[in-house]
Structure 1
Amino acid sequence: MPQADFEDQEQPLDPAMEKIRRKMVRLQLISGGIFLVCFMAVIAAIVYKISLRPAAPATTATTAGYAVPADGPLAATAALPPGFDIQQVSLSGNQILFYGALNGMPKVYIFDLSVQRIVADVTVGQGR
């Protein structure tokens, strides 16, 4: 098997090819170094962006224009007039509609959670 021994031995390159090989190795090292520096810059930018993210407030979260406490329910009082008989309640977004009667007259009150007050007082009657 003299041929196998001959294949294992490498022939020395001529000076021109050796010069090109050295340039290629140097180019690979420089390219690898640039790639490593760019990769580290991207990692640093990601860490920087994550560290700048503001901490979420633990006390409130906003929903539909009003703040909801994180530790409990929203507390509000709808001051309906005395004697108002509630027949139906409806919720739409941040508004609560109270339908009922006051002294026998049908009425609608709309309570807005964002401003925490009655925003509409509607008397329901027949048109002429």
Structure 2
Amino acid sequence: MTAIEPDDQEEKPLDPAMESVRRKMVRLQIVSGAIMFVSLMAVFGAVVYKTMREPKETASTAAASGVPSDAPLAATLSLPLGFKVQSTSFSAGQMLFFGETVEGTRKALVFDLRTGRTVADVTVAGN
């Protein structure tokens, strides 16, 4: 086997330019490591926040429309006397009744199922 010279084992001091580059590289490595650590902690924090938070119900669920899941909703709407319903529509927990009164006036009545009351009484004027 070849013998290794003892002076090859000793580290020789770097020239000043290389020592400056080495210091900059060490500083860059420490800053990069700190940034990566902070980013990783932010991701873990977001995951923990999402898992610990109470789930929000979507608009497609019955609770979002105001209808209880254990029993059907019961409500009574009193339309004006002699009101002739021509069409109805339902959206987001509200019912629209479109029709004519006894006097021939066209009206749109909006009934909210959550509150159980008429929220709009619109007279439709026109030819």
Band of TM-score, shorter chain = 0.3 to 0.5
TM-score by length of 2: 0.48
Structure richer in strand, relative to its length: 1
